[in-house]
Structure 1
Amino acid sequence: MGTLVHYATDKGVAFLTLTDPPVNAYTYEMFKELDAAILEARFDDDVHVIVLTGHGEKYFCAGANINMLREADESFKYYFCLHANETLCRLEQTPKLVIAALNGHAVGGGLEVALACDLRVARTGPFLVGLPEVNLGVLPGTGGTQRLARLIGRSKAIEMMAEGQNVPFEEGVRLGIINKYWECTKIEDFRRKVDEYAHEFTPPHKAAFAVGRIKRSVQSGLEMSLLEGLAFERELQAELFASSDAKEGLTAYTAKRKPSFKAR
């Protein structure tokens, strides 16, 4: 699709690759392409899962391009942060499972991008995750203060960000930042594993329509009161009960056979 975000699809999975070697740092231009790619995947009825990863073997994303920030005026930087927030919220609210495949370091804004995804998977290597923006005299301004605290708890998130910690992937697993950590030293093996994992959530194996609504119920529901969240959950459930996949799932269960879902 673009030069900074490569877009490709394969059997129900859209692969979005941040591409600006050597560290895949993002600019306003990259986020415009990312925004467009998210919408492309959202509107494509044949796409059920989105995988977001980085180009190369060392960096998922090193965050915002420092040279761009140093040279831009305050007005541009404000609108840059606003657009980044809007783009990542669009990713977070898209009713399709989003997996961040951490092929390398995910620090600063790179981790903030990954935090807007539903699941984060990573590979073996001397790689780090963290939000060290305090070392630049600023805070994590692309959702990091909000999403990290919601994910790992307030006190631990403040500790990580105030100390400017970057921690190894193994520690990221322990903290709950990373969901899966695979023993893949070769990037080719990791990408194959990611591909296999993403396709587990596509038809006919999985009811992707239901997976997308589970994601929406959690991502939006946790920002509501419990009663509002329960009401939202009921509406999504009603939508699912009316789907072909629900009828297939219930029929297959009764007939003691494996269901064949169509995401419809």
Structure 2
Amino acid sequence: MSDSKEVSISIENKIAFITINAPKTLNALNRKIIKEIHQHLYNIKYDNDVRVVIITGAGEKAFVAGANIKEFASFSKKEGQELAQSGHDLLFNKIANFSKPVIAAVNGYALGGGLELAMACHMRVASENAKLGQPEVSLGLIPGYGGTQRLTQLIGKGKAFEMILTGQMISAKEGLSLGLLNYVVSLEELMPKAIEIASKTIENSPAAIKKSIKAINAVFGNIGLQNEVELFGQCFGTDEFKEGTQAFLEKRKPNFK
């Protein structure tokens, strides 16, 4: 067992539990948290005592309520593109292509980068109080950690357009009906349900599971993800990006002209 300030890991019954614990920001992703999760995944990749990973957020309010806007509000286009690319390389693609099943236990808000983190996982279980959304357009941005691609793959083009272009949140119940979530349970049953799924996969061949993940992912190419990175970067430094991020930080509605 090892711990860090904002991300902890514990291993029990061949399941690694990775918990994001940054309550002041509702577990919002920053570069430090991304690096810490990456390091934990690196450490357990070849650990035979770990067969499944469950990622969750500490507390009952949020899985991950988005990215830390303060961290990139002054970024240039180049810095914005590098932000997205490093996120893909360090974490989101690592999870999507991880050789062991990764389950997201979504407890509360999963917005922006938080929903993208959940979607990078192979399966998603959510509590009834979960709220899901990609609100980046209200910041003058687009989803930059795989959201435009993985959301479309999971729920289809029409609903992905609706969620991304309106930026509105949906309930866990709607997420389940759309195929965005595998299961919705009470908050008390969230971790037991995730463990139940994990335990079922542990009964099966690790080599076959690894190959299954690789085969399923082969359906989806990387061209769309790379386009997303480039278009995400182009949003930075624009008047609309400045207005959107400033409005968020000032807790007011943006005025896009």
Shared fold, TM over 0.5:
yes
Q: CA deviation at 1:174?
A: 0.8
Secondary structure (helix, strand or coil) at the match of 2:218 reads: helix
1-structure distance, mates of 2:117, 2:99? 17
Structure 1 position 112 matched with structure 2 position 110: no
1-structure distance, mates of 2:187, 2:53? 23
Calculate the TM-score normalised by the size of structure 1.
0.77
The one-letter amino acid of 2:200's match is E
Structure-2 residue corresponding to 1:211 = 209
Q: Where do 5+ consecutive residues of structure 1 fail to align?
A: 225-264
Q: CA deviation at 1:100?
A: 0.5
In 2, are the aligned partners of 1:41 and 1:50 still within 8 Å (CA)?
no
The one-letter amino acid of 1:216's match is K
1:156–1:44 distance in 2 versus 1, CA, 3 Å:
same
Q: Which is bigger in relative contact order (C-alpha 8 A, separation at least 6)?
A: 2
In 2, are the aligned partners of 1:9 and 1:47 still within 8 Å (CA)?
yes
Whichever of the two has the greater Rg, that structure is: 1
2-structure distance, mates of 1:6, 1:74? 33
1:156–1:105 distance in 2 versus 1, CA, 3 Å:
same
Calculate the TM-score normalised by the size of structure 2.
0.79
Secondary structure (helix, strand or coil) at the match of 1:15 reads: strand
1:25–1:47 distance in 2 versus 1, CA, 3 Å:
same
In 2, are the aligned partners of 1:61 and 1:105 still within 8 Å (CA)?
yes
Structure 1 position 34 matched with structure 2 position 37: yes
The one-letter amino acid of 1:84's match is G
The one-letter amino acid of 2:70's match is N
Structure 1 position 4 matched with structure 2 position 2: no
Q: Where do 5+ consecutive residues of structure 2 fail to align?
A: 223-257
2-structure distance, mates of 1:221, 1:45? 28
Structure-1 residue corresponding to 2:93 = 89
1-structure distance, mates of 2:140, 2:107? 28
Report % sequence identity.
Answer: 34
CA RMSD of aligned residues (A): 1.7
In 1, are the aligned partners of 2:176 and 2:184 still within 8 Å (CA)?
yes
Q: CA deviation at 1:9?
A: 0.9
Number of residues of Structure 1 aligned to a counterpart in Structure 2: 218
